[in-house]
Structure 1
Amino acid sequence: MLKTTTVAVLAILATPVLAADLVIPSSPEPIYEDAGFDWSGAYIGAWIGGQGVRLFAPGEGTIEGTGALGGVFAGFNAQSGNLVFGGEADVDYSGFNGARACGNPLWTCRGYVNSQGSARARFGVAVDTLLFYGTAGVALGNAGGSTTSPAGVVFSDASVRVGYTVGAGVEMAFSDNLTGRLEYRYTNLGARNMNFDVVYPNVEVSSHTVRAGLAYKF
């Protein structure tokens, strides 16, 4: 009887020690990586910039110069991993208006681009709040000009041209809804005959632009 009681007491006393040595493994808390900024969704914005324009008339010469540029744009993005792709359209005002002596030096030739726009695809790579992208698409622009005789008689012509535009840029997210961008684009509005005092064949209009803009992302 005494022996049985002693064993029971020792077993009771040993229980806390055995419990202390018993370690129940637990699963570690899962670690979730930050997915970064989400570029997907629609947006609208405005930009300003500068434009270098060249009007080239074969056999007659070139009118070129710079002008201010401003406009609005809107588009949408879709994102898969760090790849971002979508579409964008813009409408811009151009302040380019250039002149030079032409043909007989007593004549004056003028050229201008006063409005333009485009519909483009956009594709790029996102690094969290930075987006490095390229863009390409169809461009339209209203370009025209005139020749003025020594007697002050003006012969003018203008038309809406269709061409292409390509470029690249970088965009940065300042918050969930506000982004800023810096973009370069080359635009070629094609060549066509222009009717002034005589027909000027295949006058080509092209430009290089640099734009800075802000966008609101929905």
Structure 2
Amino acid sequence: MATPVLAAGLYVPATPEPVMAGGYDWSGGYLGAALGGQGVRIDAGAAGNISGNAMMGGIFGGVNFQSGNFVYGVEADLEYSGFNQTKPCTNAAWSCNAYINGQGSLRARLGFAVDTLLFYTTAGLAIANGGGSTTSPVNAVFPDSAVRFGWTAGVGAEAAFNENWFGRLEYRYTDLGSRDMTFDTVYPGVAVSSHDIRGGLGYRF
């Protein structure tokens, strides 16, 4: 008669695993790759401007922290840009060229998470390497290039596919400021800006 009583006394009910409040957890570090297009404008004032579209792509990485539905963190990226355009200069006997071959940024991010969806804004420091040249009617080339610093800001959205993988779509405007550049002569206040749209695939760890 004591055996069933003893067995009943040893029964310990299973403790259910805790359920995370707010659903999906976006916190932690991540790495990824992005590909997209950009519209670039090089403005040399009275000397005219060069604008056009190009493909660009590269890698990104960062870290997220989450408090309730709010997600914040920091991110950096490094990208190749294929922008390279040539057009007649103001003096049509000459040709003017402009290019950007590399760009990057270091940005803060602030977002709002709805389970496996994250909507965010981002802004910070931008850097790019670019330059150009003027070519005379007798094919004498006068090049100049520089590393430029400026700012970038935009918005984006991410969707988590599972615990680790996520995709993103992002728009950013970048202003790389203005500076004097010397080709066949000094071109004062050459300004560089771009509108970028990129998609990416990332891995959280």
Q: TM-score, normalised by structure 2?
A: 0.90
- Which consecutive unaligned segments of at least 5 residues does structure 1 have? 1-28
Q: Cα offset for 1:34?
A: 5.3
How far apart are 1:32 and its partner, in Å?
6.0
For the residue of structure 2 that corresponds to 1:70, the secondary structure is: strand
2:91 matches 1:104: yes
Residues 1:83 and 1:141: Cα distance change in structure 2 (over 3 Å): same
Q: 1:38 aligns with which of 22, 25, 32?
A: 25
Alignment of structure 1 residues 28-177 onto 2, 5 Å:
35-177=22-164
Shift of 1:67: 0.5
- CA separation in 1, counterparts of 2:203 and 2:134? 44
CA–CA distance in structure 2, aligned partners of residues 32 and 107 of structure 1: 68
What displacement does 1:143 show?
A: 1.2
2:90 and 2:127 mapped to 1: Cα distance?
A: 29
Report the alpha carbon displacement of residue 75 of structure 1 after superposing the two structures with TM.
Answer: 0.1
Amino acid at match of 1:216: Y
Alpha-carbon spacing, 1:33–1:121, altered in 2? closer, same or farther (3 Å)? closer
Q: Which residue of 2 aligns with 1:216?
A: 203
Q: Percent identical across equivalent pairs? A: 58
Secondary structure at the counterpart of residue 92 of structure 2: coil
Q: Report the AA paired with residue 155 of structure 2.
A: A
- 1:9-30 per-residue CA deviation (whole Å, 9 max, x = no partner) reads xxxxxxxxxxxxxxxxxxxx9x
Quick one: which amino acid aligns to residue 70 of structure 1?
Answer: G
Task: Using the TM superposition, give the Cα deviation of residue 104 of structure 1 relative to its aligned residue in structure 2, in angstroms.
Answer: 1.4
Count residues with an aligned counterpart.
189
Q: Distance in 1 between matches of 2:19 and 2:127?
A: 47
2:59 and 2:78 in contact (8 A); partners too: yes
Match of 1:193 among 172, 180, 186: 180
Q: Which residue of 2 aligns with 1:203?
A: 190
SS of the aligned residue for 2:83 comes to strand
Secondary structure of the residue that 2:82 maps to in structure 1? strand
CA contact (8 A) 2:22 2:69 kept: no
What residue identity is the alignment partner of 1:65? G
In 1, Cα distance between equivalents of 2:32 and 2:55: 18
Matched residues in 1 for 2:127 and 2:138: separation?
34
- Measure, in 2, the Cα distance between the counterparts of 1:211 and 1:104: 36
TM-score (norm 1): 0.85
Shift, 1:35, TM fit: 3.0
User: 1-side partners of 2:199 and 2:76: how far apart?
Assistant: 16
